């Protein structure tokens, strides 16, 4: 069934219409977090992309079924030496599963703070070992995988003819010795093969029995196993950050398609561009990783992050700044104050055709926000403004009708408000406007209503 939503498919390099292969819901898989640390605002930009896609589909009248994995084993660090979770557990001197469950809880807390809807399921890699072993066995039987002399199981890249379609990295161009996969070395038959199952070697934690000996799963196989297990033999939409295009998604596609007779499992591959902060890539070593908790400690509403992220399109790299976050926070407060006023007028039906079109055209949220700002300033009735803002908040999810907690007025502001009320009674509008300007400088926003001025 067609949905009317067009998104950019990385594999075909085209805008494609999202279609649901199943009458009941659009099946979406989004690569989840590796739970060895807090998600930073960049990770959250990618998770927000899944939420905005699902909310837009809901807005356009479609049900969605979203599955997002929790990687708690098998994701090796960039230096290719150690499982990210085991390194962190050594650092924190805690059991790796305890570390994983803590960061997983914090991930859910952050999602809730950003009004990101819950996925239907969050399968954990460590609890899906059987599922992965079944898939690996199947790939060995189909001659797409082999057991190496080191007891690890490798996927044979050359056995999958379409390798490289997502990223453009063709097997013939991937040079031997190029370290694009952690299992470089080992007992691979071809340099571009990768491990589906890693022999434990001298590792003693986070290991499982298998038909090929004790070991642990590779990172890529978990997404193939889980997406097929929970979504079936067609995944309508697959989402992740742009860095996952290669090798993660390339390998995932090869594994999944090879398991279903080279049919295409995923209909559309959607990638979100990266987020920079104050002009730089966020990294632990550079010390510029920003978390939702940092925003809260700066007195900002976490939904200001949601708004700031929506000011940019998902396919553009975005540079987030503290100024942009503060400005988004102010906009949110202004909208909520106005909503409190507009809600007093009778509610009319809103026309959302234009907004729906912007969303349907590759999630053009900046245009949606421009349309909202134009509506805010327009002469249409307050009732229409209220109804339209409420309706579009189904996608924006900015809690636009949340009452603003009033801050204490300073003595100066209170005196100015009184003086302005008198000026308006005297119909001295020039003075009233001048005082409004002074109040704005103090951070007090005044509106005139039938019941008098409100701030």
Adjacent-strand bridge partners of 155: 145, 194
198 binds, among ligand AMP, Zn ion, none (CB under 5 to 8 A by kind): none
Instruction: Return the residue of 74, 151, 217, 240 that touches ligand AMP, per CB under 6 A.
Output: 240
**Interaction between residue 46 and ligand AMP (CB under 6 A):** yes
Considering only the stretches 17-25, 184-192, 223-231, 344-352, report the one whose residues sit in contact with Zn ion under the rule CB under 5 A: 223-231
241 binds, among Zn ion, ligand AMP, none (CB under 5 to 8 A by kind): ligand AMP
Which phi and psi angles does 205 have, rounded to 5°? -115, 160
Q: How far is the CB of 78 from ligand AMP (least distance, A)?
A: 10
**Whole-angstrom Cα distance, residue 282 to residue 177?**
28
Instruction: Return the residue of 192, 244, 324, 368 that touches ligand AMP, per CB under 6 A.
Output: 244
**Closer of 144 and 238 to ligand AMP (Cβ):** 238
CA–CA–CA angle 331, 336, 339 (5° rounding): 125
Contacts of 243 (CB under 8 A, 6+ apart): 274
113 binds, among ligand AMP, Zn ion, none (CB under 5 to 8 A by kind): none
**Whole-angstrom Cα distance, residue 197 to residue 151?**
9
243 binds, among ligand AMP, Zn ion, none (CB under 5 to 8 A by kind): ligand AMP
Q: How far is the CB of 381 from ligand AMP (least distance, A)?
A: 40
**Interaction between residue 249 and ligand AMP (CB under 6 A):** no
Instruction: Return the residue of 66, 192, 200, 223 that touches Zn ion, per CB under 5 A.
Output: 223
**Whole-angstrom Cα distance, residue 309 to residue 57?**
19
Pairing of strands 26-30, 237-241: parallel
Closest Cα partner for 302 from 340, 324, 329?
Answer: 329
CB crowding 81-117: b at 16 or more within 10 Å, else e: eebbbbbbbeeeeeebbebbeebbebbeebbebbbbe
275 binds, among Zn ion, ligand AMP, none (CB under 5 to 8 A by kind): ligand AMP
Q: How far is the CB of 269 from ligand AMP (least distance, A)?
A: 12
Q: How far is the CB of 426 from ligand AMP (least distance, A)?
A: 55
Adjacent-strand bridge partners of 277: 280, 320
Pairing of strands 145-147, 275-277: unpaired
Task: Give the CA count within 13 Å in the CB-facing half-sphere of 159.
Answer: 23
What is the x/- site pattern for ligand AMP, positions 24-43, by CB under 6 A?
-------x-xx-------xx
**Whole-angstrom Cα distance, residue 109 to residue 448?**
39
**Whole-angstrom Cα distance, residue 273 to residue 241?**
6
**Closer of 34 and 53 to ligand AMP (Cβ):** 34
Contacts to ligand AMP from residues 117-146, by CB under 6 A? none
**Closer of 62 and 75 to ligand AMP (Cβ):** 75
223 binds, among ligand AMP, Zn ion, none (CB under 5 to 8 A by kind): Zn ion
**Closer of 42 and 96 to ligand AMP (Cβ):** 42
Q: How far is the CB of 35 from ligand AMP (least distance, A)?
A: 8
By CB under 5 A, the count of residues binding Zn ion is: 2
By CB under 6 A, the count of residues binding ligand AMP is: 15
User: What token pair was written down for 365?
Assistant: 């949220």
What is the x/- site pattern for Zn ion, positions 7-46, by CB under 5 A?
------------------------x---------------
Q: How far is the CB of 84 from ligand AMP (least distance, A)?
A: 8
Residues in the chain: 455
Q: How far is the CB of 98 from ligand AMP (least distance, A)?
A: 18
DSSP one-letter string for 106-150: HHHHHHHHTTPPPPSB--BGGG-HHHHHHHHHHHHHTTSEEE-TT
What is the crossing angle of helices 365-377 and 382-396, to 10°?
A: 160
43 binds, among Zn ion, ligand AMP, none (CB under 5 to 8 A by kind): ligand AMP
Which phi and psi angles does 119 have, rounded to 5°? -70, 165
**Interaction between residue 218 and ligand AMP (CB under 6 A):** no
Contacts to ligand AMP from residues 262-301, by CB under 6 A? 272, 274-275, 282
CA 269 vs CA 249, 266, 300: distances in Å: 9, 7, 34
Which residues of the chain form contacts with ligand AMP (CB under 6 A)? 31, 33-34, 42-43, 45-46, 240-241, 243-244, 272, 274-275, 282
């Amino acid at each position: 069934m067609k949905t009317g939503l067009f998104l950019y498919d990385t594999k075909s390099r085209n805008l494609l219409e999202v279609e649901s292969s199943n009458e009941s819901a659009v099946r979406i898989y989004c690569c989840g977090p590796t739970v060895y640390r807090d998600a930073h605002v960049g990770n959250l930009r990618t998770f927000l992309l899944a939420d905005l896609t699902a909310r837009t589909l809901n807005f356009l009248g479609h049900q969605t079924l979203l599955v997002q994995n929790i990687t708690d084993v098998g994701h090796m660090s960039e230096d290719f030496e150690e499982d990210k979770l085991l390194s962190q557990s050594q650092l924190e001197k805690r059991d790796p599963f305890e570390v994983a469950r803590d960061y997983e809880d914090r991930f859910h807390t952050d999602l809730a703070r950003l009004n990101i809807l819950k996925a239907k399921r969050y399968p954990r890699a460590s609890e899906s070992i059987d599922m992965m072993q079944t898939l690996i066995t199947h790939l060995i039987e189909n001659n797409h995988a082999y057991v190496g002399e080191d007891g690890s199981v490798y996927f044979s890249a050359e056995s999958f003819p379409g390798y490289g379609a997502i990223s453009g990295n063709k097997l013939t161009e991937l040079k031997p010795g190029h370290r694009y996969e952690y299992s470089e070395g080992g007992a691979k038959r071809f340099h571009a093969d990768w491990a589906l199952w890693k022999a434990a070697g001298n590792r003693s934690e986070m290991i499982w029995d298998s038909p090929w000996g004790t070991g642990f799963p590779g990172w890529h196989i978990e997404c193939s196993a889980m997406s097929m297990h929970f979504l079936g033999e067609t995944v309508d939409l697959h989402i992740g950050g742009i860095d996952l295009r290669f090798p993660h998604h390339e390998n995932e596609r090869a594994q999944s398609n090879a398991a279903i007779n080279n049919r295409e499992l995923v209909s559309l591959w959607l990638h979100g561009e990266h987020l920079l902060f104050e002009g730089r890539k966020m990294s632990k070593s550079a010390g510029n990783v920003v978390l939702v908790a940092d925003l809260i400690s700066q007195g900002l509403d976490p939904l200001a992050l949601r708004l700031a992220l929506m000011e940019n399109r998902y396919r553009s790299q975005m540079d987030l700044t503290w100024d942009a976050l503060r400005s988004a926070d102010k906009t949110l407060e202004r909208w909520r104050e106005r909503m409190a006023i507009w809600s007093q007028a009778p509610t009319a039906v809103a026309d959302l055709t234009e907004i729906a079109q912007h969303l349907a055209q590759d999630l053009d949220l900046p245009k949606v926000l421009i349309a909202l700002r134009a509506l805010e300033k327009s002469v249409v009735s307050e009732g229409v403004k209220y109804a339209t803002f409420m309706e579009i908040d189904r996608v924006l999810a900015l809690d636009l009708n949340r009452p603003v907690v009033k801050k204490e007025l300073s003595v100066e502001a209170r005196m100015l408000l009184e003086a302005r009320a008198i000026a308006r009674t005297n119909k001295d509008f020039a003075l009233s406007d001048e005082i409004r300007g002074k109040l704005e400088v103090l951070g007090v926003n005044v509106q005139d209503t039938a019941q008098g001025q409100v701030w």
